[in-house]
Structure formats: C-alpha cells, structure tokens
Structure 1
Amino acid sequence: MLGKLWQRITGTDDDNQEGVTLIEITIVIVIIGLLASIIGPRVIGNVDKAKVAKAQLEIKNFSTALENYAIDVGSYPVTEEGLIALWQVPDNSVNWSGPYVTDPTFNDPWNNPYIFTSPGSHYGYDFDLASYGKDGAEGGESFNADITNWTESENLGP
C-alpha cells in the first residue's frame, strides 16, 4: 500500500488517476504524527539539558569575570551595582579595566535574570550567583533546580 502511495505522490503511478485521496493524506499525517511523538520528547529533553549546561557555563564565566573585576578594582561590585558593572563602568570606580564580558546580556537560558548578591551569604564565597532554573522559582528539582556558584554541601561550613 505504501509503495502505491509513494508512486501516486511522486507521479510515477502507471494508472491515469490524478491527485491523492483523503485517505492517503490521512495515512501520511498519522505516520508523521507517530514519528513526532517518538522523537519530540527526546529532542525537548536534550534542549533542557543544553540550557542547564549553558547556565552552568555562564555562571562560571561570570565568576571569572567578577574575579578579574575584583583584581582590577580591589573589590567585587555590590548587589546594587549588579552584573552590569562587568560591562560598563560603575560610578566612583577606580582602575576599572573592562568590559569583563563580551555580551551585556545577564539573563539565563530561560530568559530570567541571573541572581547576583555581593557580599555573598554562602560559606566561603564573596558573592552569590544563581539561576533559578527552568521554572524561575527558587528551589526545585531536575530542570527546575537552582544552578549556583556554590553547592549546598559547602553551605554547611567547616
């Protein structure tokens, strides 16, 4: 049946019939739907994994940029100055040698702003940097989990 359908679609059918019937179109749509239902979830899952990996990489890159900023300026930007201090000179900043980032976009892969707090409140960190994940809310699991520059086990202290 599929061979005959293919002949009709490609116009190589020996019969003198023209066009494709509604049943043939329906069969093709059902086949496409089945393929999409099998492949779709795998692709969507990979997109979410890629976004988590991108957020982790961006937090590492921002952390490095903040370290470079602190080396030049002598301190980290405060919360009120925000990550934009990596891109443009903050008021009253001496020895600023930036920009320290190549792109002034400070949103995570889910288009939520990264959370920057300085001084940091987690053990051993001068600043806190976080993405709240896919759901944009603090906490969560899997793709909704927070992505941070610290880990919860480090939060316990010595």
Structure 2
Amino acid sequence: MKRQSTQAGLSGIARRVRAGSDDGQSGFTLVEMLVVIAIIGMIMGLIGPRVLSSLNESRVKTARIQIQSFSSALDLFYLDTGRYPTSSEGLAALVRPASTIPGWAGPYLKGGNVPSDPWSHPYVYRAPGQRVPYEIVSYGSDGQEGGVDLAADISSSMTIGAR
C-alpha cells in the first residue's frame, strides 16, 4: 500500500514537471530583475566612458598611421615619377594611373582605393603644403577644419615632421 502511494506521488511530480507547472513559485520577481538591471547600469556607467575614451584615442592613432602610410606611398610615387601628385590629382593618383603621369608604377596603396579617415571623412591632400612638399590632413571627428580634442586636425606635417 505504501508503495502505491509513493508511485502515485512520483507520477504526480512527473506530471507537474512535464507540464511546466509547480505548486511553489519559480522565476524572478520584478524587484529582483530591477535590482539586476540597476547593477548592470551602474557598471556600464563606470566602464562605458573609459571604453569610449579608448575608442576615440584609437581612431586618432589610426588616422596618424594611415597618414604615415600615405606618406610612404607618396615617396614611392615620387621615386617613380620624379614629382608628387598635384592637389587636383590628389591621393587618387596613388591607386589609379593617369595618362599624364609618366613613370607611374602603382598602385601604391593596397585595396585599389583611398580609404577615408576613421570618422568616414575623406583625407585632404594639398601639394605643395606649408613649408613641405605636400600635406595630408584629417579634420578629426567633426570633419571641419580646426577644432580641439577629438575634433582637432591631424596633419602629416604633425605626424611625421617637416620634410
């Protein structure tokens, strides 16, 4: 008799487990979920600005590295053609040959196109630059000349020094 009642009890539990119901409460209360969300929010509030700061600093470093890469490509262009591209030819002369450029042996940049700066703005190329044969400029996060902090201009004359 005792065995039958035990089996009946176990089968009742199995039915409740299969049905997904339980007489006891399960899951999380609204208060518990709000506490967890508040904790996650505080953690993101502390860590978020540091992550964004690192991201912005890495964009500035990326722009400097790209400008150095352009400078190396421009030097190879100069060795092949005896001149730097004009302002009207721009950096595109490093990837696409023009019939007016004798001795062109490019492309001088991989990928077949001139990449934009880390803020998706085109680089500005001036030839001649101020006191240098050429100047390559990224206008920073705002995409406009001038600015401070992240919006400050990044120039080849600052990056690699005057030529």
Question: Is 1:117 the equivalent of 2:126?
Answer: yes
Question: Is 1:149 the equivalent of 2:156?
Answer: yes
Counterparts of 1:130-141 in structure 2, within 5 Å, are 130-141=137-148
Q: Amino acid of the residue matched to residue 33 of structure 1?
A: G
* Aligned-residue identity in percent: 39
Matched position secondary structure for 1:130? strand
1:37 offset after TM fit, Å? 0.6
> Runs ≥4 in structure 1, deviation > 3 angstroms?
none
Larger radius of gyration: 2
- Write 1 or 2 for the structure with the bigger share of helix: 2
Query: How many residue pairs are counted as aligned between the two chains?
Result: 137
- Structure 2: which 5+ runs fail to align? 1-22
Alpha-carbon RMSD across the aligned residues, in angstroms, is: 1.6
Indicate if the aligned counterparts of 2:94 and 2:108 stay in contact, CA closer than 8 A.
yes
Residue 108 (structure 1) aligned to one of 79, 96, 117: 117
- Structure 1: which 5+ runs fail to align? 1-14
Counterparts of 1:70-81 in structure 2, within 5 Å, are 70-81=78-89
1:143 offset after TM fit, Å? 1.1
How far apart are the structure 1 equivalents of 2:70 and 2:99?
A: 20
Q: Amino acid of the residue matched to residue 59 of structure 1?
A: I
TM-score scaled by structure 2? Answer: 0.79
Q: Could you report, residue by residue, the CA deviation over 1:4-53 in whole angstroms, capped at 9, with x for unpaired residues? A: xxxxxxxxxxx932111111111111011101110000000000000000
Residue 32 (structure 1) aligned to one of 26, 37, 40: 40
Counterparts of 1:51-130 in structure 2, within 5 Å, are 51-103=59-111, 104-120=113-129, 122-123=130-131, 125-130=132-137
Q: Could you report, residue by residue, the CA deviation over 1:67-118 in whole angstroms, capped at 9, with x for unpaired residues? A: 1101101111111111111111023221111111113133100000000011
Indicate if the aligned counterparts of 1:83 and 1:106 stay in contact, CA closer than 8 A.
no
How far apart are the structure 2 equivalents of 1:26 and 1:101?
A: 53
